[in-house]
Amino acid sequence: MVARLRELSYAQAIQEAMALAMEADERVFLMGEDIGVYGGAFQVTGDLVNRFGEERVMDTPISELGGAGVAVGAAVTGMRPIFEFQFSDFATLAMEQIVNQAAKMRFMLGGAVSVPVVMRFPAGSGTGAAAQHSQSLEAWLGHVPGLKVIQPATPHDAKGMLLAAIEDPDPVMIFEHKLLYKMKGSVPEGHYTVPIGKAEIRREGRYLTVVATSIMVHKALEAAKALEGEGIDVEVVDLRTVRPMDRETVIDSVKKTSRLLTVYEGVKTLGIGAEVSAMIAESDAFDFLDAPIVRLGGAETPIPYNPELERATVPQVPDIVAAARDLVRGAR
Amino acid sequence: MATRASAGAAEAGANLPFLYRHHDKDALKEALYKMHLIRLFEEGAEESYMRGLIHGTMHLSIGQEASAVGICLPLTDDDQITSTHRGHGHSIAKGADVARMFAEFFGKTTGYCRGRGGSMHIADVSKGNLGANGIVGGGIPIAVGAALSAKQLKNCKVVVCFFGDGANNEGAFHEALNMAAIWKLPVVFVCENNQYGMSTSAERSTAVKDIAERAAAYSMPGVIVNGNVLSDVAEASHQAVQRARAGEGPTLIESKTYRYRGHSKSDRNRYRTKDEIEDWMTNRDPIALYEAELKALGIFGQDEIDVVRAAAAKEIAAGIEFAKESPSPETTDLEQYVYTEPA
């Protein structure tokens, strides 16, 4: 039977995933700052506290390090915690527990435990919140073996990947772009999962592969549409998972189009685009390249407050259009 | 204010210290055996290190045996602990097999962590030891999380969280104690104050005189105990574990003790005097104090004590042999255990 589709926002889709998981499994519970009666800084948990009570929708003190550690401890002892960071930037306060404990505990103990914790990170710029509330730190965590790092770009994937994350025995970090929370899309009712580690081709094309993450997927699709009229046929790959990265889908796409542009919001240097580029350079897709690989990433600066400066910090649709046009027309 | 547990002397109406009122002869012998096993394990590990059989580094707990054994005395196998970089004693006190511990130190597949963890990550999840930790204070929030699980799963487990005097100045300590208190979780925080965080004395690093005073900031009992007197440690642990199991919330126990060896293998002992070390070893040794008490109370004679020690020595020797003979992991299995393998 095909599940009925409805229009839900990205935030509603996440909330629905959490509610479904909590209904199905009493080990699943939520922790985070102001996720109870307040409903979360971005209203993602909303009124879940009314449905599930304070024991399962737990407001924590403002203690990111301790809170993340409590979630890790609960995960290794039989619970399935979902820990919400108010902003992904606050991961910096909890890096010890994420990097040294959650990621390594199974390995250090020779497989004696699993750490089924989910951590949610509202990420990205565009809200005028300036340098300490706008970062995209997914590449930091993507650098740590033991973690899985995902960036769903649509309401459909947000729900399906979160459900996959909750069922995953290992720690999964979800980066949710704040500007996506209100975006609507069709979402099936009921339970379904979208696999972690699988990229998705959002649009097929012949002349250029754009590998994009999170909100950049939508900007890339917009750019691809604008380029249609010029006869530039762009393929858009939504990477969806930073670790473990889907090599096959990206490599096959580049073999087909012979050109690669990566678009991501995190700082360009040493970012996700560097990894995707290197992956192609090291693979047999390298022989298929007709042009140098190009990366479009965040500027080498903290996120500024001024809205024009803020927009200029991260790739925008015209930047993608220009880069794609140059690549396909051989200007690069 | 922190309270001081009875100093091992008789309480009103009872002629015997706590330990001898609450535990039978077998349990007293088992406690003595474990204290010897810890000391001999540490000496065996040190010797194996000197002989190049163990690489890396290690943090020995010689001198702290009463603290580990006394705290774990009221725990069941289902109760859990989190431990520290100086965690060999905790592991043995919680029931680990020394052969598998040695095998881990030797980097062998038969080790508790299949050679992936070594001394600093020694664990025995089957007996409730969730693991030592290489990060000072790293295990404290994890213990609180385990206690949260116990509360939510209603399984009556108690979690003991070991850490040292150094950890009480980490943010994790304060965040974790606060959460344990507001949620009334079944956890016992045990600060083994051996007086030095590497080279820096607690006096130089910590604003309060007694770390147990910090309990007041989190509205939980703070108990100071002589960590070298087994009965005193066991009594404090018994009360705190009972309180935790009854749902009355956490306790902070400060177990004042001393490590004879350096912080790790690179320590040149420049921050303390030989006289100070000598004084602790001669006058306050936890094993000697316990044995003297056992003899004074007429529970065991020297002969029986010698038999206990010899049995522990035999187990240690067999453990080292087991470790030597065990196979090493294959380098082709390098990435094993990073993620959970699909069933």
Q: Is residue A33 part of a domain?
A: yes
Q: Is B20 exposed, middle or buried (0-12, 13-18, 19+ CB in 10 A)?
A: middle
Choose from A57, A62, A63, A77 for mutation: most chain B CBs within 10 A.
A77
Same domain, A291 and A271: yes
Distance of alpha carbon A66 from alpha carbon B297, whole angstroms: 46
Q: Is residue B332 part of a domain?
A: no
CB A68 within 8 A of CB B141: yes
State pLDDT tens for residues B136-152. Answer: 999 999 999 999 999 99
Q: Is residue B257 part of a domain?
A: yes
Among residues A188, A217, A245, the one where a domain terminates is A188
HSE-CB of B9 using CA atoms within 13 angstroms: 4
Same domain, A22 and A153: yes
The pLDDT of residue B13 is above 80: no
**Chain A residue with the nearest C-alpha to that of B144:** A70
Structural domains in chain B (count): 1
Same domain, A171 and A271: no
- Whether A133 is catalytic is yes
Average pLDDT of chain B, as a whole number: 95
Q: What is the CATH number of the domain that holds A275?
A: 3.40.50.920
- Whether A64 is catalytic is yes
Q: What does B156-198 look like in DSSP terms, one character per residue? A: ---EEEEEETGGGGSHHHHHHHHHHHHTT-SEEEEEEE-SEET
Which residues 126-145 in chain B show a CB within 8 A of chain A? 130-131, 133-135, 138, 140-145
Same domain, A104 and A66: yes
The set of residues, in sequence order, having a beta carbon less than 8 Å from that of A156 and lying 6+ positions away, is A13, A185, A186, A187, A188, A194
Q: Is residue B330 part of a domain?
A: no
Q: What is the CATH number of the domain that holds B57?
A: 3.40.50.970
Q: Is A233 exposed, middle or buried (0-12, 13-18, 19+ CB in 10 A)?
A: middle
Q: For B179, which of A61, A97, A111 is closest by C-beta distance?
A: A61
Q: Is residue B208 part of a domain?
A: yes
Which residue segment(s) compose the domain that B240 sits in?
27-323
Structural domains in chain A (count): 2
Distance of alpha carbon A116 from alpha carbon A123, whole angstroms: 22
Contact B114 A68 (CB under 8 A): no
User: Out of A224-228, B264-268, B305-309, which region has the weakest mean confidence (pLDDT)?
Assistant: B264-268
Q: What is the CATH number of the domain that holds A178?
A: 3.40.50.970
Question: pLDDT by residue for chain A (332 residues), tens digit each?
Answer: 567 889 999 999 999 999 999 999 999 999 999 999 999 999 999 999 999 999 999 999 999 999 999 999 999 999 999 999 999 999 999 999 999 999 999 999 999 999 999 999 999 999 999 999 999 999 999 999 999 999 999 999 999 999 999 999 999 999 999 999 999 999 999 999 999 999 999 999 999 999 999 999 999 999 999 999 999 999 999 999 999 999 999 999 999 999 999 999 999 999 999 999 999 999 999 999 999 999 999 999 999 999 999 999 999 999 999 999 999 998 65
Same domain, A244 and A171: no
φ, ψ (nearest 5 deg) of residue A290: -105, -5
Q: Strand, coil or helix: what is B48?
A: helix
Same domain, A181 and A204: no
Q: Is residue B202 part of a domain?
A: yes
pLDDT at B3: 61
Q: For A109, which of B82, B117, B142 is closest by C-beta distance?
A: B117
pLDDT at B12: 44
Contact A109 B178 (CB under 8 A): no
φ, ψ (nearest 5 deg) of residue A46: 55, -125
Same domain, A255 and A183: no
Q: Of the residues A16, A33, A84, A133, which is catalytic?
A: A133
Contact A109 B182 (CB under 8 A): no
Choose from A27, A107, A109 for mutation: most chain B CBs within 10 A.
A109
Q: Strand, coil or helix: what is A234?
A: strand
Same domain, A112 and A11: yes
Q: Is residue B336 part of a domain?
A: no
Chain A interface, Cβ < 8 Å to B: 27, 29, 55, 60-61, 63, 65-79, 81, 96-97, 100-101, 105-114, 145-146, 148, 169-170
ipTM, interface predicted TM-score of the complex:
0.96
Same domain, A117 and A223: no
| B334 touching A (Cβ < 8 Å) | no
Q: For A170, which of B114, B116, B339 is closest by C-beta distance?
A: B339
Band (pLDDT 50/70/90 cuts) for residue B10 is very low
pLDDT at A331: 62
**Chain A residue with the nearest C-alpha to that of B123:** A109
pLDDT at A3: 78
Q: Is residue A324 part of a domain?
A: yes
Only one residue has tokens 């990435």, namely B335
Q: What is the average per-residue pLDDT within B325-331?
A: 97
Q: Is residue A193 part of a domain?
A: no
Which residue segment(s) compose the domain that A177 sits in?
5-188
Same domain, A204 and A159: no
State pLDDT tens for residues A122-131. Answer: 999 999 999 9
CB atoms within 10 A of CB A332: 14
Q: Is residue B334 part of a domain?
A: no
φ, ψ (nearest 5 deg) of residue A210: -105, 115
Residue numbers in B near A66 (CB within 8 A): 141, 144, 171-172, 174-176, 178-179
Q: Is residue B338 part of a domain?
A: no
**Chain B residue with the nearest C-alpha to that of A115:** B340
Q: Is residue A195 part of a domain?
A: no
